[in-house]
Structure 1
Amino acid sequence: MNIPDTLNHKPVVVAEHYDQVDGRNAGRLDAKCLSLGLTAESGPRQAELSAKVWRYTGDALSTQSEELPLHRVLDLAILICRSMEHFNEAYIYEHLFDPEQPVLDRIGLQGSAMNVAVCTANANILEDIQSFNQALSQNGEMIGERLRTLSRVLKELGY
């Protein structure tokens, strides 16, 4: 199933087949993919980062917004962190990723695994990945502050 790249969200990093690792809902609900990307209003100078849960309604991928189960929020956080880890070293690749190996990681979760991959189905991936990388860099202080806070809270909880 290809994620459309012509909607308000331009996917850059995806966890496809998410319906197989969606906690207790694995294999039963319509959340098919998680993605990190850019909002359609983003331009090369002002890229806005966004996350999306792609739902399949039986006919097509839906653009509906939704309430998120807490485990799905955490799965998005895992996707964000793994993506940031990749982009810290992505400069070694001509296009910020290896087109021959677009899967960045495979993370085991409840009975299956969540693949973290560059969205090669995005027809504009070479341009969008550059904008995404730049936006990560520009938002590094804001994102880093939240990650440090999350890390501190997780440590306080014993994780």
Structure 2
Amino acid sequence: ELLDEEADARTASPAQRAASRTQGRLLLRVARRVWPAEALEELARRTPSPHHPVALGVAAYAAGATAGEAALAAAYHAVSGPATAAVRLLGLDPVAVHALLAALGPDLAAVAERAHPPGPHPPGPRPPGSWAELPACSAPALDLLAEQHARAEVRLFVS
């Protein structure tokens, strides 16, 4: 719950918060079917519509992924979603776009490593006060575009 609240506080745009929660709810629904685990059930009980990053972390845990693998999945998701949208909206060559995604592999691994450096980490969850150390980057132009998109008559994507 605390981590979900921290994600909420770091997402300035109400439209982006809603999109993140929609994507999180959908991921949680799928993950509960694919990887039945108490952690997913507990998340569903406590936060039925969690932010996407929270759902991704718990789904990765339920799937047996390491924290580094979860970070890599998050990094890949950050670029693959927009790439898929670009193929659909701009008519780009899907093979060329996926070749570009494959070429980004080392960069995505570097981003994931920065998020979760290798080496020993204390077992168990982080102490509650450490969540305040999470980054809170912003992109005001994207926030404004998200709000405009949420009010559009025709929307092709949740986010």
- TM-score interval, normalised by the smaller of the two chains: under 0.3
Query: Normalising to structure 1: TM-score of the pair?
Result: 0.24
Q: Specify which structure has the higher proportion of helix.
A: 2
Query: Normalising to structure 2: TM-score of the pair?
Result: 0.24
Q: Which has the larger radius of gyration?
A: 2
Q: Specify which structure has the higher proportion of strand.
A: 1
